[in-house]
Amino acid sequence: MSSVSEFQKLFIQLDGSPLSKIHALKDFGNSLFRQHQFDFAGDCYDKACRQLCVNLKDRNYFDLNSTVSLAISLCLNLAACSIKLRAFDGALIICSMVLTFFPNNSKALFRKAVALRNLNRISEACVILKEAQALEPHNKDIIRELNEVCSPRD
């Protein structure tokens, strides 16, 4: 699937389960992200977040742990799209929101640091990257970013 119209057809054909539609939106967003269609991927993640919020009242479809994990994943995917689209303020807001509730989320810390770096807030980015590295000392992306951002410049 490579177009939004194809997704709309699929979305209509899905069963009535709100959760299946939310997962379909996320999966389609992931596919679009891999194709570098970050605007459309972000739209999918945003729509999935909205659907999740709207449908939370129907507890038959959701359990708390999987709902929270899905919400975090959607938010962080949306932040990744924001970074790719150079909407660093948006990515910073999204990651900060996730970190308000889950301060040890290393992916949120990493993406927040990337946004801060691109906003030229280097010292803040270094602090956040060090927090992320403390949580995931062997994460290659964190180490690479830490070396690029926090290394002393000659």
Q: What is the pLDDT of residues 9-23, one digit of tens each?
A: 655 556 667 888 899
Give the pLDDT score at 6. 64
Instruction: Report whether 19 contacts 61 (CB < 8 A).
Output: yes
Half-sphere exposure of 87 (CA within 13 A, CB side): 14
Supply the pLDDT for residue 1. 45
d(CA 96, CA 6): 34
Residue 9 pLDDT: 61
26 touches 74 (CB < 8 A)? yes
Ordered domains of the chain (ranges, CATH): 1-85 (1.20.58), 103-154 (no CATH)
Question: Quick one: three-class SS letters along 61-103?
Answer: CCCHHHHHHHHHHHHHHHHHHHHHCCCHHHHHHHHHHHHHHCC
Report the mean per-residue pLDDT for the chain: 89
pLDDT band at 105 (very low <50, low <70, confident <90, very high): very high
Q: Is the pLDDT of residue 61 over 70?
A: no
| 3-state helix vs strand vs coil in the chain, percent to 5 | 75, 0, 25
Helix or strand or coil: residue 130? helix
Describe the crossing of helices 88-101 and 64-84 by its angle, rounded to 10 degrees. Answer: 160
State the first-to-last Cα distance of the chain, in angstroms, to the nearest integer: 48
- Residue 16 CA to residue 88 CA, distance in Å, equals 36
